[in-house]
Structure 1
């Protein structure tokens, strides 16, 4: 699951992969080099939130009309 977040230092865009963040990878701003990562204490909370989001997406996919 890819995403983007504004860099808190320069306002540029940091592109990241949420699953890679859970594995401990960090991502850097192309503009200033500031890095984005998860603290170890946050991994379980983020993993739980991602699981709930995935479940909601699957429920939504089942409700879509064919087309």
Structure 2
């Protein structure tokens, strides 16, 4: 993560991707604490950045 943030072009791309993921997860809703604390919001943001949802991640070896 630090390598991405230290590289100006990669950091910009990462920020843009993150903003787009949050906008997708909001789906027109207001950005509030109640919204961002939901598992559904988290799952959509993670999926938008390519991380599997918590329920589909393995829990151990």
Shorter chain as normaliser: what TM range?
0.3 to 0.5
Structure with larger Rg: 1
TM-score under structure 1 normalisation?
0.35
Hey, which of these two has a bigger chunk of helix by percent?
A: 2
TM-score under structure 2 normalisation?
0.38
Name which structure has the greater RCO, CA cutoff 8 Å, separation 6+: 2
